[in-house]
Each structure stands twice: as structure tokens, then as C-alpha cells.
Amino acid sequence: MRNHNGYLLRWDDEGMLFDPGEGTQRQMLFAGVSATDVTRICLTHFHGDHCLGVPGVVQRLSLDRVQRPVYAHYPASGRDFFGRLRYAASFYETADLREEPVETDGPVASGTFGTLSALRLEHPVDSYGYRLVEPDGRRMLPDRLAEYGIAGPDIGRLQREGSISVGGPGAGGATVALEDVSEHRRGQRFAFIMDTRLCENVFALADGVDMLVIESTFLAAEAELAESFGHLTAAQAGRVAAECGVRLLVLTHFSQRYTDPAAFGAEAARHFDGPIVVAEDLARVPVPKR
Ligand SMILES: [Zn+2]
């Protein structure tokens, strides 16, 4: 038996909780995740296995006196559903939960963590996938810093100002630029793709991400079923990962008709030669570093 959906992405100071299905609050306890870790609730769509955990999580935010605002993103057409989930039972609301429904394709939030965008998917009900892109930055090179004798607070000053002069009075006072002691570092990228049939936006969301969490409800033998119900097969997920240059593929959301989740990994591996994780309850999967 597997629990319903529920995925927490830890990303700098953010804790983005995607698609909390029934039992998510309980799974959070088992995983050692506290309500104060959650900064955003992101729903792809309003089928029960992707949202029936909202009432418990929302009430827990108030019970635990979460101080900072928590944002909720979900397809705007499901506003009434979210309202009912949010107020499914009586509780004393203290948490500052701010609803920011997704009206159309594009950015839904940005900050020091980067930009979170949503793109419409193809499912019998409105469904959006999410993509998170951290801005590119620079990685300091310890060898070079040592070469120029830059240490301590000077490193921060160099990062802020772009260049500093080194060497004391009489030592020549050379100017060192940030580029001399650091290299370009591409920001990390993440995509979360749930219920959908294969469509253009699946590729747009997954393009060049370090980690792709994607549904694979069916195996290729049931490709017609997948298409008609608006779902993906493991083979399609593998092809998406290969075409999009994904670094780590995480498969999840398997139909109960199958008894062995390993079959999904094996099928995807016929199309994608990178690392594949077949998600299990309470598993922790690090986002590959840049
Ligand atoms: Zn669905």
C-alpha cells in the first residue's frame, strides 16, 4: 500500500508542498516535517488524491502558530473547491494563508529562491504543472581567492561590489574582479508534472531541469488508457526526461493495477539513461547540485 500524493520541496528558505493528498499531515509527522517548514501549497488540480490533504495541513498551520505567510497556488477554476477544503471543519484560524490562484500560464511567484511558474496541462479537469528556476550565480574558487590573498569579509565585499583592490599600502594595490576568483554557476531547476497526457507544456516544464518529478500512471502496454484518461506512461516520462536533458528523473503516481513499481523504472530506463528514482513513501531525494 502506498500513501496518496504529497511532496515537499525544500529549496533555500522555501518549503513547497505539492499536491497534498489524504494523509499528508500524518506522513509529514513520520517524515519529521513540521508545519513551519511549509511556505507554499501548490496544487496541480482538484482530484481528491491531489488535494484532500489540504484541510489537515491548513489547520495544522494555525495549530502550530505558523508566523510567516503561506501561499496557496491552484487552478483558479477550482477556487470553490479550495475554499471548501480550507474551511472543511471548524478551527481557530491564526495562520496567514494567502490564496494566489493560477489564472494562466506564466510566473506565479518569485523571490530570492528564483521564479516559480505554472503551465497548463491536459487532464479532464484544469491541471497545471510547476517549474522552479533559480537565478544563475557565481561560485567562488577557494584556490584563486588564496592566490590573491582574499579572505574573510573581503569575500563578501567582492561579491557585492564586483571588484576590490588587494595588497596593503606600498604593495602595489592590484584590482581583483569577481570574475578572476569565481566561475559561472547555473541556477538549479526543478519541475513538477502531475496528471496530464503528453503535451507541449510537459516538455516546456521539464526543459533542462536538474530534477523532474513526474507522474507515470501507466506502463506503455496501456498507452491508450493513459491517453484517454489524461495520464502518462513510464515510457513517455522517460522520453521526456531524455529529450529535455533532465539530470534526475523521479517517477511517481502509479496505478494500483500494477503490483511492482520497479517495472516503471525499468520501462523509463529504456528511453532515459540518466539516474531514475521510483518514489516511495517518506523517501528523501536530493536535488542534484550545480
Ligand atoms: Zn487527476
pLDDT tens digits for range 71-119: 999 999 999 999 999 999 999 999 999 999 999 999 999 999 999 999 9
Burial track 212-247 (b if 16+ CB lie within 10 A, e otherwise): bbbbbbbbbebbeebbeebbbbbbbbbbbbeebebb
Which grid cell sits at 178? 569577481
Measured in Å, residue 74 CA sits from the centre of ligand 1 at 13
49 classed as catalytic: yes
Measured in Å, residue 46 CA sits from the centre of ligand 1 at 7
**Which pLDDT band holds residue 174 (cuts at 50, 70, 90)?**
confident
pLDDT for 1: 75
d(CA 289, CA 23): 31
d(CA 197, CA 195): 7
Based on the number of CB atoms within 10 Å of its own CB, is 43 exposed (0-12), middle (13-18) or buried (19 or more)? buried
d(CA 287, CA 11): 9
Q: Summarize the confidence of residues 37-60 as an average pLDDT.
A: 97
- Name the helix (H) or strand (E) containing 227: helix 223-229
**Which pLDDT band holds residue 55 (cuts at 50, 70, 90)?**
very high
Measured in Å, residue 136 CA sits from the centre of ligand 1 at 34
pLDDT for 171: 52
**Which pLDDT band holds residue 56 (cuts at 50, 70, 90)?**
very high
Model confidence at 168: pLDDT above 80? no
Measured in Å, residue 256 CA sits from the centre of ligand 1 at 14
Query: 10 Å Cβ neighbour count for 63?
Result: 13
Measured in Å, residue 45 CA sits from the centre of ligand 1 at 7
Measured in Å, residue 72 CA sits from the centre of ligand 1 at 19
d(CA 232, CA 198): 6
Q: Which residue in 37, 49, 180, 207 is the catalytic one?
A: 49
Of 166, 183, 187, give the one whose Cα is nearest residue 175. 166
pLDDT for 194: 97
Measured in Å, residue 47 CA sits from the centre of ligand 1 at 5
Question: What average pLDDT does the chain have?
Answer: 95
For 170-177, the CB contacts below 8 A with 24+ separation are 174/148, 176/148, 176/150
d(CA 181, CA 164): 11
Q: Summarize the confidence of residues 179-200 as an average pLDDT.
A: 96
Model confidence at 169: pLDDT above 90? no
Which grid cell sits at 33? 516535517
